[in-house]
Amino acid sequence: MKKSVYLFTTLFLFLSLFINAQQHQNSHSNCDTTTTGRTIKFNGSSDVEAIIINVSEDTKIAEIAVNTTIKSGHLTVEIHDPKGNKKGNFSVESLIKSSEKKSELVCGQMHKQISDPKAGKWIVHLIPKNVSGEVTIQTFMSN
């Protein structure tokens, strides 16, 4: 049962990312748009990860979508601009200790759109505490 719930949730997140990417592609049809996506899996990790997103001088709109699905632990996600200023954050936490009889999947999302973003290295910090689950980061850059 828990595998089917996890599979359904993961499938739902990927489907929503695909639909989101299609909508962005259609809405930016007159612009040059670059899309990237990555998935990071955690298996009980507490190691902080810094995902670098390079934003060029000619970028007019930058969008960062972060989707999380965790089975256990606590995860904080932060977005920082090239000067280190925090531009967004959220946290998700599993409150139920998983066992054979029960488990929990906690999903969280953040979608950040920045007009005329500062050029340079934007960083998505993933700060886990004993996290099992995954994080998907999708970026859209329009010139």
Contact 67, 107 (CB under 8 A): yes
Q: Which is more confidently placed, 100 or 126?
A: 126
pLDDT of residue 103: 84
32-85 pLDDT per residue, tens: 788 899 999 999 999 999 999 999 999 999 999 999 999 999 999 999 999 999
| Domains of the chain as residue ranges with CATH | 2-142 (2.60.120.380)
pLDDT of residue 28: 47
This prediction's pTM = 0.76
**73: which strand partners?**
none
Q: Which is more confidently placed, 17 or 84?
A: 84
pLDDT of residue 8: 54
Contact 80, 123 (CB under 8 A): yes
118: closest CA among 24, 67, 53? 53
